Each structure stands twice: as structure tokens, then as C-alpha cells.
């Protein structure tokens, strides 16, 4: 028995109703596309569904974990559910797999490395010329966000943040 099942003591018959509730809160999608959960989400973007424990108390469970458990049964104690599609609100069972924490870290490191290679060359960290620095300072002054500036100027957020910080410190001094 894993930590979720031991915490909730959910009976086998209630998994059927959980499955029905879970998939009634998803959007329809083609057979291989992500199946986004359209119910409540936590602040990290994961879908959350309420389940009742043996004492009759409501508890929250991550929707992708509930989907995996309804399809495959218990998750081992040292495993977590990984999204192969890297989309946090996806509950399609074919996009989920149980992996250890170490494997999960390796999967995300490989994914991040692939993303970094795929980014255009202009997104790399670089020194800016005078006009770009003044533009960042002016956009900061009028209240534009770091994300907005980085997209508009085709720069990575770290570079924009670095120059914004220098600009804000010079104003404060």
C-alpha cells in the first residue's frame, strides 16, 4: 500500500466513481493529444480533485495521480507520476508514467537541455548595446514586465532581469 492509499484508505469501489468524476472534468481531445484537466488547479498548475477518506473527510489529490491510480493501481512509495508530455494539467493515462525521483530529475534535465538547444541563437545571454539598454530602462520606467520586454526585444529573461536590476539600483541610489 502506498502513501496516498494509506492516507486516504479509499475503497476499490470508490475508484470507479473517482474515475468518472475525473474524466467528466476533462476536455475532449484526439486520441494522442493531451487531455487537459478542467477542474480546480493548484498554484503550480496541477489539476486537483477532491476525494473522501474512510473517515468521511474531504482531501485533495493531484488529478494526474488519481488518473494513474485508476488505470494502473497503486504507485510505489519511492515513485512519482511523471508527465511524458511535460504538461502539468494533462491526465491522459498514456502520457503518465511512474518513475523514481532520480529518473524524474534526469528526464527533466534532458528535456531542459533539448529546449535550450531548440531556442533561437538570439535568446542566448549576451551583452547589449547602448540603445537596447536605454530601451529596457524606458520600458521598465513605464511599467512593462520582464516577460513582456524579453519577448518584445527577443532576449532571454535573465538578461533583461540583469539590466533591469542595474537600472532600478541606479534610480534608488
> What pLDDT score does 115 carry?
66
CATH code for the domain in which residue 73 is found: 3.90.75
| Count of CB atoms situated within 10 Å of the CB of 135 | 16
pLDDT in tens, the chain (173 residues): 444 444 444 444 455 577 788 878 887 777 778 888 888 888 888 999 888 776 778 888 899 998 998 888 888 889 999 999 888 889 999 999 999 999 998 998 888 777 665 555 444 556 777 888 888 888 888 888 888 888 888 888 888 888 888 777 776 66
- Spatial separation of the C-alpha atoms in residues 169 and 173, rounded to whole Å: 6
Tell me how many domains the chain contains. Answer: 2
Is 108 a domain residue? no
> What pLDDT score does 134 carry?
85
User: What are the beta bridge partners of residue 83?
Assistant: 96
Task: State whether residue 51 is helix, strand or coil.
Answer: strand
Q: What is the 3-state secondary structure (H, E, C) of 73-100?
A: CCCCCCEEEEECCCCCCECCHHHEEEEE
Where helices occur in the chain by DSSP H, the ranges are 3-8, 12-24, 63-72, 101-118, 130-141, 146-153, 157-172
Q: Are residue 35 and residue 84 in the same domain, yes or no?
A: yes
Is 107 a domain residue? no
Q: Are residue 95 and residue 13 in the same domain, yes or no?
A: yes
- Spatial separation of the C-alpha atoms in residues 91 and 161, rounded to whole Å: 35
Is 117 a domain residue? no
The pTM (predicted TM-score) of the whole model is: 0.59
Range of the domain at 23: 3-101
pLDDT in tens, 26-66: 877 777 788 888 888 888 889 998 887 767 788 888 999 98
Amino acid at each position: 500500500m502506498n502513501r496516498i492509499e494509506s492516507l486516504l484508505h479509499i475503497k476499490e469501489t470508490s475508484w470507479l466513481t473517482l474515475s468518472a468524476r475525473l474524466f467528466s472534468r476533462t476536455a475532449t481531445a484526439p486520441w494522442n493529444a493531451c487531455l487537459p484537466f478542467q477542474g480546480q488547479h493548484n498554484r503550480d498548475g496541477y489539476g486537483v480533485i477532491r476525494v473522501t477518506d474512510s473517515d468521511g473527510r474531504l482531501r485533495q489529490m493531484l488529478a494526474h495521480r488519481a488518473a494513474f491510480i485508476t488505470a494502473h493501481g497503486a504507485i510505489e512509495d519511492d515513485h512519482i507520476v511523471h508527465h511524458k508530455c511535460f504538461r502539468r494539467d494533462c491526465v491522459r493515462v498514456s502520457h503518465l508514467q511512474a518513475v523514481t525521483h532520480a529518473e524524474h530529475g534526469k528526464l527533466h534535465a534532458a528535456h531542459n537541455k533539448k529546449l535550450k538547444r531548440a531556442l533561437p541563437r538570439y535568446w542566448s545571454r549576451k551583452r547589449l548595446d547602448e540603445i537596447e539598454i536605454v530601451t529596457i530602462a524606458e520600458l521598465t520606467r513605464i511599467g512593462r514586465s520582464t516577460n513582456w520586454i524579453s519577448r518584445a526585444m527577443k532576449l532571454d529573461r535573465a538578461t533583461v532581469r540583469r539590466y533591469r536590476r542595474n537600472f532600478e539600483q541606479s534610480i534608488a541610489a
